[in-house]
Amino acid sequence: MDQLKIITVADPMMGLLWETWPIHRKLETHFGEQIFFGTLMGQLVKDVYGLVDQEILSRYGKTVALNQYWVKLMQIYLQEERLTGMPIQMGTNERLFDENHTSSLPLDRGLRAIAKSNAELEDQVLYELQYDTVVENKQTNDINYLTKLAANFKIDKNKFSANYKSVNLNQEMNIMSQLKISQLPAYIVTYGDKSYVIKGLPKYSEWVDMITKISQGNLKSRKVTFNKEMVLDFIKIHPHISSLELKEAFDLSDEQEVIRILEDTDLKTKKIKKTIFYSLK
């Protein structure tokens, strides 16, 4: 049986991508090894000065223009939180963009430099980049941050630096151009010898319908069992995850069911708004 490949085209800084994790986790548990997940770097902000108000930039300068843009960006992030409820909090720490950090490309390069061709590690690195961007508000496009993140994944400074310098995103840009992908996030879905570009933010039921149609019914979702052992096994694969993601992954009606079953574990926890983030010690 052919495996379905879902390649998400996005940028690690995107709030819209952050909001897709609950559905992503549900696809994982319900389809298992039938689906391979990967990412293609969307390179969202190549130069932030192309996005600021040009009149404000010309009249008042870079600092004022960036300040105005940052307020607008925070509002966009918080609006995106409403899509699935993955918590976003902005304005509590560092700004992503300033006069010395004008692009999101370092996040794209950093992800590739740390994860290389390891799909499982790529998932974890992407999650940390997203969490630190939209929850912790760290300046994740700064090389010092990325070097520390690499160290957290057991990659020393020199190796990371060499990897980072060798990253070439041109091939990913060419794929986006060839497939005419201009809206992010998008998905490249491949089954057998056929590929499809999916745009927008499909709901889980829409994903199931598409998977059934694309695979001609060969790929089927499976029943998921919810108990502490199953949840803890899943967390071993995803060592930083939220109660909201686990709720969706295990077909629960309330995050509190997850919180109750994990309350006597030795997992590290951090509450962000109504959601608990779990991580292995």
**Beta-bridge mates of residue 5:** 36, 190
- Provide, rounded to the nearest whole percent, the portion of the chain with pLDDT above 70: 100
pLDDT-derived band at 159 (thresholds 50, 70, 90) equals: very high
Report the pLDDT averaged over residues 38-57.
94
Which 3 state secondary structure label does DSSP give 268? strand
The pTM assigned to this predicted structure is 0.95
Asked if residue 72 has pLDDT above 70, the reply is yes
pLDDT at 10: 96
- Distance separating the N- and C-terminal Cα atoms of the chain: 38
> Tokens at residue 222, please?
């499976």
Across the range 208-235, mean pLDDT stands at: 96
pLDDT in tens, 137-155: 999 999 999 999 999 999 9
Tens digits of residue pLDDT in 255-264: 999 999 999 9
Using CB atoms within 10 Å of the CB of residue 266, give its burial: 0 to 12 exposed, 13 to 18 middle, 19+ buried.
exposed
* Number of Cβ atoms within 10 Å of the Cβ of 108: 25
> Looking at per-residue confidence, does 238 or 43 come out higher?
238
pLDDT at 76 over 90: yes
Query: Higher-confidence residue: 118 or 256?
Result: 256
pLDDT at 91: 87
Whether residue 8 contacts residue 187, with contact meaning beta carbons closer than 8 Å, is answered with yes
- In the block, residue with structure tokens 């997203």: 130
Instruction: Determine the pLDDT at residue 1.
Output: 65
Confidence of residue 206 (pLDDT cuts 50, 70, 90): very high
Residue range 80-110, pLDDT digits in tens: 999 999 999 998 899 999 999 999 999 999 9
